[in-house]
Amino acid sequence: MDILSALVTLTNFVMIPAFAYGSQLALGALGITLIYSILRFSHFAHGDVMAFGTMVVIFTTWGLQAAGITLGGVLPTALLAIPVGIAAMVVYLLTVDRLVYRFFRQVKAKPLTFVMASLGVMFITNGLTRLFIGTSERRFEDGARFIFTVREFREWTGLAEGLALRSAQAITIVAALLVMVALFWFLTRTKSGKSMRAYSDNEDLALLSGINPERVVTITWVIVASLVVIAGTLYGLDKGFRPINYFQLLLPMFAAAIVGGLGSPIGAIVGGYVVAFSEMGITYAWRRFFAHLLPEDMAPDSMLQLLPVDYKFAVTFAILVIVLIFRPTGIFRGKSI
């Protein structure tokens, strides 16, 4: 019986990784949910746009590193490059909007036409990313790798089990919290944010009260660009950059947005953490956790892993299905069009 060790194991292998992953998903799902509530379509290019933005950040990071500009070797240089990435993505997304989506808005096309168009954008963005940076894995984190390592933790506490906190994870969690707070401040306290919410609630009424729809759309893309670049960079710092992984984030991000309730920002955040914690919890081998909790002669001999890690999609999907069956509008009662 060693409750403390059990908790430390759990924190090390489930809580911290899931919290970081959940933050990344939440930021991605926020983008999806914003596009959905303002532009009223499911943005299938989200994962690839994320990869594209991260690519810009990576190139900038390499440039900065080559020029000898770093954050003193403590924080990753990529943080300095994020504003460049955001600027590039704002330009990219607004260009795409002008060239592609605006026409469909003007002719009042059906939502699924927008989705088709976003498939086209997905192909192009996907191709561009691979054209520039290729398909192989790129690492771009520098600075201190750990806030504290397993060994340091053991020395401090004298426990048998170790706990490590990687800088990428810590940065992710802090940065995601800051971004979320800033976004909610913007949506609830500023005039632009309020006009966005008004537009999302009732388009006709918002138009009648003199809100300029094109301005709302522009602001939305600017916010989405920022969210996408930050989420993508944090994910890349944490797990390494491969375009295909970003593409595959599409499913968990959409699941997070739907589980929380499409169109509800709070829902997107909660959904992100729900998806991340379920994925981690169900694919984690619980043997060591229970070995600490149970008396020695009852120690489990199997891995106690509910599903192999390869099936993490299945977990996401199962959550999605459960929500779709029992509460189709999501936890926070999103809207459905």
Partner 1 sequence: MSVNWRNVGLFAAMGVVLLLTAAFQSWQLALTILNMSLISAIMALGVNMQWGYAGLFNVGIMGFTAVGGVAAVLIAMPPVPEAWAAGGFGAMLGLMLGVATILAAVAVYKRMAPGRMRGLVIFAVIVVGWVVARFFFAPATQAIQAVNPASEGYLGGLGLPVILAWPVGAVFAAGAAWIVGKVSLGLRSDYLAIATLGISEIIIAILKHERWLARGVNNVTGIPRPVTRPVDLQPLPWVQELAVRLGWTVSETAAILSALGYAALFTIVLAILIWLSEKALNSPWGRMMRAIRDNEVAARAMGKDVTRRHLNIFVLGSAVCGLAGAMMVSMDGQLTPGSYEPLRFTFLIWVMVIVGGSGNNWGSVLGAFVIWFLWVQVEPAGRWLMETVTANMDVGSDLRRHLLDSAAYMRLLTMGVALLLVLRFSPRGLIPER
Residues of the shown chain interacting with partner 1 in the complex, contacts defined by CB under 8 A:
41-42, 44, 100, 103-104, 111-113, 115-117, 119-128, 130-132, 134, 247-248, 250-251, 254-255, 258, 262, 306, 308, 310-311, 313-314, 316-317, 320-321, 324-325, 328, 336-337
Q: Give how far Cα 119 sits from Cα of 44, 46, 116, 126, 239, Å.
A: 6, 10, 5, 10, 26
Could you tell me the smallest distance in angstroms from the CB atom of residue 224 to partner 1? 17
Could you tell me the smallest distance in angstroms from the CB atom of residue 215 to partner 1? 24
Separation of alpha carbons 53 and 92, rounded Å = 9
The residue among 277 and 311 lying less far from partner 1, judged by its C-beta, is: 311
320 with 259: CB under 8 angstroms?
A: yes
Q: % helix / strand / coil in the chain, to the nearest 5? A: 75, 5, 25
Separation of alpha carbons 216 and 196, rounded Å = 6
- CA-wise closest residue to 57 among 124, 132, 136: 132
The residue among 181 and 244 lying less far from partner 1, judged by its C-beta, is: 244
- CA-wise closest residue to 53 among 21, 23, 28, 20: 28
Could you tell me the smallest distance in angstroms from the CB atom of residue 146 to partner 1? 32
The residue among 179 and 282 lying less far from partner 1, judged by its C-beta, is: 282
283 with 307: CB under 8 angstroms?
A: yes
The residue among 178 and 306 lying less far from partner 1, judged by its C-beta, is: 306
Could you tell me the smallest distance in angstroms from the CB atom of residue 75 to partner 1? 29
Could you tell me the smallest distance in angstroms from the CB atom of residue 25 to partner 1? 14
Phi, psi (rounded to 5 degrees) for 223: -65, -45
Phi, psi (rounded to 5 degrees) for 73: 75, 5
The residue among 185 and 313 lying less far from partner 1, judged by its C-beta, is: 313
The residue among 180 and 319 lying less far from partner 1, judged by its C-beta, is: 319
Could you tell me the smallest distance in angstroms from the CB atom of residue 163 to partner 1? 30
The residue among 255 and 291 lying less far from partner 1, judged by its C-beta, is: 255
The residue among 76 and 260 lying less far from partner 1, judged by its C-beta, is: 260
Burial class (CB in 10 A: 0-12, 13-18, 19+), 108: exposed
Q: Which two tokens stand for residue 62?
A: 């390499």
Could you tell me the smallest distance in angstroms from the CB atom of residue 181 to partner 1? 28
82 with 229: CB under 8 angstroms?
A: yes
Could you tell me the smallest distance in angstroms from the CB atom of residue 286 to partner 1? 13
Separation of alpha carbons 57 and 62, rounded Å = 9
Q: Which two tokens stand for residue 25?
A: 């998903």
Which residues fall within 8 angstroms of residue 216, CB to CB, at 6 or more apart?
Answer: 38, 192, 195, 196, 199, 206
